[in-house]
Amino acid sequence: MVVGGTPLVPEEVAQLVGVNARGYALAEQGWEPLHEFLVDVRMRLLSEEGMQGVLSDAPPSDRAIMSDPVWQRMSRENIAETLRQGAEGWTDESLAMHGKWDFDPSEVQTSVTWWHGDDDKNAPLSAARRVVATLPKVDLRTWHDEGHFVSLTHDKEIVQELLGRSE
């Protein structure tokens, strides 16, 4: 798992980038307020503002990645496809991540490797650690001074390890 999202506690919500903190607060109010907000965020993401505008308060490592024009083009194309049909799926996912999970992580039987940046303001490391502590077979890998886009700076390392497991 790379920068997996988990349910949060209030101290973690306070650490989130602004757009995610607002979305989390609106999830408390239910589907309609959250969906209306995410429809607006979707429009902002698809505009010239893009991800770098919506996440302007992200950690420095994430802002550096978002400043790359090639990344911006790729991000805009990915977001356009991901949200092509609207924000309903995003709203469902946000509500699912907001509440308790409908399974017990301690019952996961397979081994899990979890990669995470210690400066992630979209999915705080403390929340990942809380879930990791319940998994019976887990290896948590963290990178120092890395934000949410850690998979983009360590993609080769992650893929090489995963490919090496099949040998």
The model carries a pTM of 0.88
Annotated domain spans of the chain: 10-164
- Reply yes or no on whether the pLDDT at 167 is more than 70: no
Buried b (16+ CB within 10 A) or exposed e, 127-141: bbebbbeebeebebe
Helix/strand/coil (H, E, C) string of 111-161? CEEEEEECCCCCCCHHHHHHHHCCCCCEEEEEECCCCCCHHHHCHHHHHHH
Confidence (pLDDT) at 151: 84
Confidence (pLDDT) at 97: 83
- Reply yes or no on whether the pLDDT at 44 is more than 80: yes
pLDDT tens readout for residues 78-88: 999 999 999 99
pLDDT tens readout for residues 122-166: 999 999 999 999 999 999 999 999 999 988 889 999 999 999 987
Report the run of H or E that residue 40 belongs to, with start and end: helix 31-46
Confidence (pLDDT) at 92: 93
Cβ neighbours around 123 below 10 Å, total: 21
pLDDT tens readout for residues 5-37: 899 999 999 999 999 999 999 999 999 999 999
